[in-house]
Structure 1
Amino acid sequence: MTEMIVDGRRLPFVEGQTVAAALVATGRLAWRTTRVGHRPRGVFCGIGVCFDCLVTVNGAPGRRACLVRARPGMTVTTGEGDDD
């Protein structure tokens, strides 16, 4: 198993997993909240149609975690209020 860095912590993943799949596999179901209402968001559609799973990957904001393949050493930052 290899690792990426999520919010400053090492997160293991299996080769071929997306960032969202790796987060869910470790029990994390939500990784951001909406600006209005602070509702939790994580994977909803899982195919890149919605915007619920947004994260910042290697400094690039607004990436859909369900579409980005996990890579060794990549840095992922989750957040709050990135979208409504």
Structure 2
Amino acid sequence: MFKHDKKKRPDTVSVILDDRAVDLPARVSVAAGLLDIGEIISRTSPSSGKPCAPHCLMGVCFECLMEIDGVKRQACMTEAREGMVIRRHLDPEDKGDCP
């Protein structure tokens, strides 16, 4: 679904994803970048405990909500930047400490 031209390697930005360093394509949203590297699950549903993934990719569904630089944000509406710290709170018990 999200594939790059094999002849051209996209520019990347280094981010911290769930306490590990990863490279995401530059000039794309965090959600698109995570999908590009195979990180499909964006969060765990607080009500059902089931994994969620980005759905609409245009800011309507909130399925890509995650903690980005200490603030809960929609990953599809946030451009990936060098040095970002991203936490997906995949453990249903981990609600995060941001508002």
Identify the TM-score tier after normalising by the shorter chain: 0.7 to 0.9
- Equivalent position to 1:33, from 44, 64, 69: 44
1:16-70 C-alpha deviation (Å, 9 max, x unpaired) = 1111111111111112111222121121000001110001111112x00001000
Any gaps of 5 or more consecutive residues in structure 1? Answer: none
Which of 76, 79, 85 is residue 69 of structure 1 equivalent to? 79
What is the SS of the residue equivalent to 1:35?
coil
Greater than 3 Å deviation, 4+ residue runs? none
Match of 1:47 among 46, 58, 76: 58
- Which structure is higher in RCO with an 8 Å CA cutoff and minimum separation 6? 1
Task: Note the aligned Cα RMSD (angstroms).
Answer: 1.4
Amino acid at match of 2:47: V
1:3-42, aligned counterparts within 5 Å? 3-42=14-53
Identity of aligned residues (%): 32
Q: Which amino acid aligns with 1:34?
A: S
Q: Normalising to structure 1: TM-score of the pair? A: 0.86
* Structure ranking higher in strand proportion: 1
Structure 2 gaps of 5+ residues are 1-11
Larger Rg: 2
